[in-house]
Amino acid sequence: MAIATTSQFWTSRMIGENPTSPTITENNVVFSATGSGASALSGYWAVTNAQYHITPTTSDYTIFTVIKYGSTPSANEVLLSLDNGDYHVEVQASGGKVKLVGATTATSDDLDILMAEDNPVPLTLRLTLDASGNAKLYMREIIEDDDGSTHYLSVTGSSGTGKKINFGAGSGNVQFGSVYVSTHGAFSPDELAPSDFVTNTLLRMALSTVDLLKNSQKTYLKTHVDNSSIKYGFDVSKSMIMRLSPPIINVMLRTLTSPTFAALGGGRVDQQYQTVVYVTTRGTNYENAYRTALNIAGEVFDEVYKNTGLNGTTDSLIEYSLDLDHKLDDDDTVCTHMLTFTYLRRINMRTR
């Protein structure tokens, strides 16, 4: 998948209340129920024997939930399932772990969701299934751990029986704090966030720039910069820079403001934001590092200018600047140039 567009969003949302009669009704497909063993409990929907489903018309799905156990469900109890007609996948309980079950089975490490001194630990789960049968289960919204290793389970789905997106439990006491569903795609945590604010900012404004640069066919970006060295700048410390091989590109969302609302009642909002791109190189001498960094920065500018911010009805690039690095130390062979792009974006705040 790619980062969710402004027309791709959560199509069903349950926020700890009866899924068949939710408070959120705008752009929200309501769940149907089988069984009645469930009740509201302190902001959670506690399920002992009930299933809730919607019947989609598409083939790529995402279901996101936060759960905790009031009492542990039986082994192999199905908590989440996705079926697109061709492929079927389930998340099953397994003590303090969960299993992703399709054509094969993958089991998580211990997730600490069992009772701990009568205080269950909430767990975030995101299950995705695409039209080709690729299923992934993300735990705690983590894609990679500190060592860069993947932190999700993946399997190919088993044979499907009919389109359905389902959550619930038939044993124990499984408490669902929230359940969000999107029938617009199989989105990772970097592609569609539970918060529309995060999707509009971090994902669509910054991570989309990372993807744009990774997919570039321009000379230096394609041949000199490895995709693993194009990152969002969560960590720009020296230790992180040393782990990567220059040239390195770090993209950051610096500021976000909304000086005016474009419609009464806040239905549409004009946002100004700055996306900053750091280009870091190392050369045999500083001149070589400087020139290489400038060539890469020039291609970054061309990609960003051409492909973002030129839609006058939704996004507009209104300002840019380039700060050029210079040598201060005799032994300095590392150069970092900084590009800053300022945008004006108009968004619909009612699609959330």
Last residue of a domain, one of 147, 182, 217: 182
Of 57-61, 118-122, 224-228, the one with minimum mean pLDDT is 118-122
Q: What is the pTM of this model?
A: 0.86
pLDDT at 282: 87
Residues 106 and 167 in one domain: yes
Query: For residue 328, what pLDDT band results from cuts at 50, 70 and 90?
Result: confident
pLDDT at 53: 98
Task: With respect to residue 142, please indicate whether it lies within any of the assigned structural domains.
Answer: yes
Task: With respect to residue 270, please indicate whether it lies within any of the assigned structural domains.
Answer: yes
Summarize the confidence of residues 253-279 as an average pLDDT.
79
pLDDT per residue over 127-168, tens digit each? 999 999 999 999 999 998 766 678 899 999 999 999 999 999
Residues 160 and 279 in one domain: no
Task: With respect to residue 61, please indicate whether it lies within any of the assigned structural domains.
Answer: yes
pLDDT, the chain, mean: 89
Residues 36 and 158 in one domain: yes
Task: With respect to residue 4, please indicate whether it lies within any of the assigned structural domains.
Answer: no
pLDDT at 118: 58
Residues 127 and 274 in one domain: no
Residues 148 and 239 in one domain: no
What's the domain range around 342?
A: 196-348
Share of the chain above pLDDT 70, in %: 89
Query: For residue 269, what pLDDT band results from cuts at 50, 70 and 90?
Result: confident
Residues 35 and 99 in one domain: yes
The domain total for the chain is 2
Residues 130 and 260 in one domain: no
pLDDT per residue over 176-215, tens digit each? 999 999 999 999 999 999 998 898 889 988 899 999 999 9
Last residue of a domain, one of 182, 211, 228: 182
Residues 177 and 200 in one domain: no
Task: With respect to residue 191, please indicate whether it lies within any of the assigned structural domains.
Answer: no
List the CATH number of the domain containing 207.
3.30.70.1700
Residues 121 and 264 in one domain: no
What is the Cα–Cα distance from 334 to 230, expressed in whole angstroms? 17
Last residue of a domain, one of 153, 182, 211: 182
Highest mean predicted confidence (pLDDT) among 68-72, 186-190, 259-263: 186-190
Task: With respect to residue 258, please indicate whether it lies within any of the assigned structural domains.
Answer: yes
Task: With respect to residue 92, please indicate whether it lies within any of the assigned structural domains.
Answer: yes
List the CATH number of the domain containing 175.
2.60.120.200
pLDDT at 112: 72
Task: With respect to residue 247, please indicate whether it lies within any of the assigned structural domains.
Answer: yes
Residues 171 and 244 in one domain: no
3-class DSSP string for the chain: CCCCCCCCCCCEEECCCCCCCCCCCCCCCCCEEEEEEEEEECCEEEEEEEEEEECCCCCCEEEEEEEEEEECCCCCCEEEEEECCCEEEEEEEECCEEEEECCCEEECCCCCCCCCCCCCCCEEEEEEECCCCEEEEEECCCCECCCCCECEEEEECEECCCCEEEEEECCCEEEEEEEEEECCCCCCCCCCCCCHHHHHHHHHHHHHHHHHHHCCCCHHHHHCCCHHHEEECCCCCHHHHHHCCCCEEEEEEEEEEEEEECCHHHCEEEEEEEEEEEEEEECCCHHHHHHHHHHHHHHHHHHHHHHCCEECCCEEEEEEEEECCCCCCCCCCEEEEEEEEEEEEEEECCCC
Of 24-28, 196-200, 258-262, the one with minimum mean pLDDT is 258-262
Residues 206 and 333 in one domain: yes
Question: Where is pLDDT greater, at 347 or 177?
Answer: 177
- Given a cut of 70, is residue 293 above it in pLDDT? yes
- Given a cut of 70, is residue 34 above it in pLDDT? yes
Residues 240 and 115 in one domain: no
pLDDT per residue over 218-243, tens digit each? 999 999 999 989 999 888 776 676 67
